[in-house]
A and B are shown apart, each in its own frame.
Chain A
């Protein structure tokens, strides 16, 4: 069986992009598809993201071999040498097995040639159709030809085939002939209209003709069969009541001869029953007379679409990653007590996201769409369509709490605090790193009100457009409150792609979401097909990204180790010494550029440019974007043999692959071709300037050699818990040696005492399965009872000293480090812990249950207190696992002994995602949940063996006292990441001692120092399966380096003129990538080319240009700036 090195990623949202980039960076070819006409998924609609309230998506772009990829805003677009992107494409089927899948794709035909479209937008101005704009969540209108995402560059317009009337106006006006409306295509769609009534036939003919189809008539069944015999038709519309052969008979005969022919029955109201019967024997649809033109067009179009769409394409890939994203609850469904869709100022969170977006319907102004009034007060309602058993949504959607807090904070910031904001919620689920502090700040710093209450209905207030909210607080008291806008935090629903997953044999959970493996959340029950992002349940960005990386890791494992180091075409080094010979080609854009009309202007410009000794020829040419234009440019180059080429044209060249393609075609290094955008300039002087700047840039373009650093293709993993073992195994399975260092006596970490997961999967089994694989792996060297003493070096080349009692001190050379040192349960300092044997922590309870030293049958009353020492300073974070653990324990105890009274004292139950069902189950089984406020914590009284817990019960509004046989404290997790360890590796820890990521959302397992990664509990509190995901993600990040035998720097990297350097070291402090250091022996500032990202901070702080960016010399930049001034 041939293993196929390619992978396919289905869904180009952020998870898809991440997975594709991960694989591309390890040398795999990737086919990235999306059914929509743009990449970016839902994130393309969201301008602001927690916690920085900015975007930051670009931080996913490759930092190693960065010249292989685009390096601009990822929301605008993406290209990578190894990634092929297919948009408007869907999967029809997946056949085959891991390593060898055969996939059938269906791609919608593209009427706009993206290679030709220059994004001028003239087409939009002539389009007569207005349809609701899905990008703005239907809050505004767009044309049938439109930009799917307004910020995409190059701006590829697309035609909404369904809305388009084929009037041809855009085709006629397009300056680059990029649009070819398929009137021919529609003409190929032949429709036979069969009716005995002339008037019906001709009116139908007229409609179909206008729509561009080829329609023909037959006045009887017999005639129709004759016509069908003469040539193929794609659709038949037939009347039912006809003299002689009636419609049903015709249908039967036609179907027996032409089984694939779609037939639509036309019927008067009286014969609807017959029509329904007809559908049973093969009719596709029926239409009721008298006809509604719209209905006909719609029905016909549906058939036509199928005909048109079948441009099936087959692809062979080794592994598949499904990143199908999520769908959202539609609040119009159900009882709709919030009058969504009826009251204009009730909107969903996604719609509201468009309101404060600069590209949204109000251009980011916080006004009501209904009347344009400035918004004064907004109420967010949480859990709309989530945590609702009545509508079969017994799950939490995980992200909505933070999403709403973010929206409210942005509203506060945008309005300078003047807009009143209130969040109605059940539990505020701040279960991620730094979430709790973000929420606390929202309340204390931004003045956002948090109201623990369920709003049961909304009614229009007396004041026009305002809304009256009715809610009951926790004590059951009824309240009324008005707001002028209500945002519904709508929950998740399975995405439409879940059907696809099901059709290829992947199991779904009871709510229709993709079911993943118990301890590896990117694996499915079908080997070789993996899941990333929100497809298996809504996730925040960082978790999506982690899971996408994990999916990429598993895909990569499936398709074997990538050995290929992408070879860059070697180009002849341009010689600085040689005087420049520049060719200037100015595109007149189909003579549409008014500035270049009139020979006088052009001649003058040419004359001026040619007077520069560096310019050997300057010419005006047309449509360089077209095949013909490219050819004539190549001819010009062939004739004049320039060393540099300057193209003055429009935007698309500046971006994407085309510049490289063009460079290849004309045989000039892309470095020596420069493209200036003249399409948006308003006078010819500006064209003169723009071209002048380009000439100056090329005149001084230097050769930019690419530096490489050798890679030690070995890994060091610190920590032998499940995260460390998973990472080590993953890397070793890819064929690289791993040193696994564990401080303790045994591998296993927290699995050594954990019993089972909340779902009931045994941790014991997981450990028993993993341990021998690690211990017996020929490429893994396990060092137990060993600690790391020191580590230094750089990505690809580290040297670490480890020490053990047995073997003493040892040095290891390796290319990457993964920190998986884990975490432990915190030791409680409150609620009488340590003063009674009846007060235990969750871990102690788990151990007691595991070694059966606690008999549930002997327990009468159990009290559990959540958030012990957590979610308040100094440990102001949620440990994520304690609430599910309490639920797990409560359910287990109840199962063993249904008579136990169990009280859980909680602040916010953090049963996120599908763990919510266990919360519901616990309540159903009689566990009592009592909410407490941190300002009024429960009290514990101990006298002798007796433990009594006193707490305020908010529902009855009274103090209660519980005599507990057992008090369980949920103490939370503290990391094992010691200062000496972070010091040794030169990484940082966050405020709470967990690993500090390079970027919490977009580079969640990377440290700021390339080559050092972290996973598991050292990274953040998380469950076992979530730890595994981070381990797989970290391993994948490590593989980006390990799969290369040398790391190449980008062409644009920083350098030092040592003779000019005063050694003030300002550049070292300014470098955000720690790419600079001083070599004390040489007394020189050195740059690590692999770490350097060419950002230019060092060059900026250096006063005399001793520090500079290769490719942006001072002379060059000054000359370019100078040329900009006329």
Chain B
């Protein structure tokens, strides 16, 4: 049975409590480094940091309602080859799921990795978070949870967690070795900590934590949150479908795209070494543009923007974990997360697959089933 324990919270400072916890982990020397979000000294912005010295964990804030990037890609870089020592990474559930996808695509390994995951109550867009941080200072994280655990995420007017987070029905870090639980816990007093794998158990055993029961209200809190998010998700899908169900509407939806490819860079499961859109394939010959223009009288430049998004959709929709970083990265506020999430949801449903759920479930394109989609391939 999994070990469940408590981290005590003093003075309502959950950030400090969790910092203490990771310092103690690093102190055991069982892990050689921790990847954890931390406020950078200059700008206060939150960024993932790789820490080996426990003393350098002083501004770590893994619960902050922000993730400037999906750290799955960083973990992939850290684990593609043996690094000679265990590392612990602190990730949000969507980061864990994205990393699982990357592991299945041979872009990372679990061997030397311990994953700590936190209950996710959502995150702000990078720019929103900076404003939120400015307003609430050191107490930002604490204030966020005091409200969010009661269902309120729009604490500062006009700043709310992203639509991707609002519609995320996977707020629990199921794939983590160590779970840090907020839901159902009295965070003024303690956080819940739970080992979800032998690896996690080994870490917790060394720490002499006081064992505890899982908070009795946790299950209820989790299911309430999931049901709220699921119904929001369904609403979003309806709206997005309505806004994109013809090619014209889709063109319109994506009209602001300038081909900056930020969404692709931000996407944790876009794993190609070099994207096909920066290769010569789309470096058309000059006459081609004229030909296209002649055909319609006018074409939007840069060309291939819709095609770019469709291609990305084709490539990642089986692996999309709905983290929303594409929207976060878009300089022109295209609601990409909603669109990609909707398509991904349908794709994954069609293949009876859930991205990031399990390492044993093979990606749909790696599995051949003779009898699938008979109505499409014309067998029936």
Contact = CB atoms under 8 A, between A and B. Distances in A.
Nearest to A52: B370
B11 interface: no
B105 interface: yes
Contacts of A1069: 362, 366
Contact of B276 (A613, A1061, A1100, A1103): A1103
B280 A1104 contact: no
Contact of A1101 (B106, B287, B365): B365
Contacts of B365: 1066, 1070, 1100-1101
A1115 B362 CA distance: 31
B315 interface: yes
B281 interface: yes
Given A1063-B106, A1066-B365, 19 more contacts: A1060-B272, A1060-B273, A1060-B274, A1062-B106, A1064-B107, A1064-B271, A1065-B105, A1066-B105, A1070-B368, A1100-B365, A1103-B271, A1103-B272, A1103-B276, A1104-B275, A1104-B276, A1105-B279, A1114-B276, A1115-B281, A1126-B295
A1060 B274 CA distance: 6
Interface string B243-282: 0000000000000000000000000000111111001110
29 contacts: A613-B287, A1059-B273, A1059-B274, A1060-B272, A1060-B274, A1061-B273, A1062-B105, A1062-B106, A1063-B106, A1064-B107, A1066-B105, A1066-B366, A1069-B362, A1100-B365, A1101-B365, A1101-B366, A1103-B271, A1103-B272, A1103-B315, A1103-B316, A1104-B273, A1104-B276, A1105-B279, A1114-B276, A1115-B280, A1115-B281, A1118-B281, A1119-B288, A1126-B295
Interface residues of B, number: 22
Residue of B271, B273, B316 with most chain A CB atoms under a 10 A cut-off: B273
A496 B365 CA distance: 51
Nearest to A414: B380
B363 interface: yes
Nearest to B370: A52
10 smallest A-B Cβ distances: which pairs? A1104-B272, A1064-B105, A1103-B315, A1069-B366, A1104-B276, A1101-B365, A1114-B281, A1062-B273, A1064-B106, A1065-B106
B104 to A, nearest CB: 9
Residue of B280, B288, B315, B365 with most chain A CB atoms under a 10 A cut-off: B365
Given A1066-B365, A1070-B366, A1105 B271 contact: no
A1062 B275 CA distance: 11
Contact of B363 (A613, A1060, A1063, A1066): A1066
B366 A1062 contact: no
Contacts of A1061: 273
Contacts of B106: 1062-1065
A686 to B, nearest CB: 16
Contacts of B368: 1070, 1072
Interface string A1092-1126: 00000000110111100000001100110000001
Interface residues of A, number: 24
Interface of A: 612-613, 1059-1066, 1069-1070, 1072, 1100-1101, 1103-1106, 1114-1115, 1118-1119, 1126
Contacts of A1104: 272-276, 279
A687 to B, nearest CB: 17
A1103 B312 CA distance: 9
B242 to A, nearest CB: 27
A1064 B279 CA distance: 19
- Chain B interface SS verdict (over half): loop
A1123 to B, nearest CB: 9
B362 to A, nearest CB: 8
- Chain A interface SS verdict (over half): loop
B289 to A, nearest CB: 12
Contacts of B276: 1103-1105, 1114
Contacts of B315: 1103
B371 to A, nearest CB: 11
Contacts of A1119: 288
Nearest to B316: A1103
A1062 B319 CA distance: 16
B73 to A, nearest CB: 12
B226 to A, nearest CB: 31
Contacts of A1114: 276, 281
Interface of B: 105-107, 271-276, 279-281, 287-288, 295, 315-316, 362-363, 365-366, 368
A1063 B366 CA distance: 14
Nearest to A1105: B276
A797 B280 CA distance: 37
Contacts of B280: 1115
B109 to A, nearest CB: 12
B308 to A, nearest CB: 13
Contacts of A1115: 280-281
A361 B317 CA distance: 46
Contacts of A1065: 105-106
A1062 B315 CA distance: 14
A706 B75 CA distance: 42
A689 to B, nearest CB: 12
A1104 B280 CA distance: 12
A1066 B269 CA distance: 14
Nearest to A1103: B315
A497 to B, nearest CB: 37
A1105 B107 contact: no
A612 B290 CA distance: 12
A1103 B311 CA distance: 9
Nearest to A1117: B281
A614 to B, nearest CB: 9
Nearest to A1114: B281
Nearest to B315: A1103
A1114 B272 CA distance: 16
Residue of A1061, A1065, A1103 with most chain B CB atoms under a 10 A cut-off: A1103
A1119 B292 CA distance: 12
Contacts of B274: 1059-1060, 1104
A1105 B105 contact: no
Contacts of A1060: 272-274, 279
A779 B175 CA distance: 60
Contacts of A1070: 365-366, 368
B366 to A, nearest CB: 4
Contacts of A1105: 276, 279, 281
Contacts of B281: 1105, 1114-1115, 1118
Contact of A1106 (B273, B288, B295, B363): B273
A1105 B311 CA distance: 12
A1069 B368 CA distance: 9
Contacts of A1072: 368
A350 B209 CA distance: 79
A1062 B272 CA distance: 6
A1103 B275 CA distance: 8
A1060 B275 CA distance: 8
Contacts of B279: 1060, 1104-1105
Nearest to B295: A1126
A1059 B315 CA distance: 19
A477 to B, nearest CB: 41
A1118 to B, nearest CB: 7
A1066 B272 CA distance: 12
Contacts of A1059: 273-274
A1126 B365 CA distance: 32
A1059 B363 CA distance: 24
A1101 B295 CA distance: 32
B347 to A, nearest CB: 14
A538 B26 CA distance: 77
A1062 B295 contact: no
Residue of A1061, A1063, A1072, A1119 with most chain B CB atoms under a 10 A cut-off: A1063
A787 to B, nearest CB: 34
Contacts of A1066: 105, 363, 365-366
B348 to A, nearest CB: 17
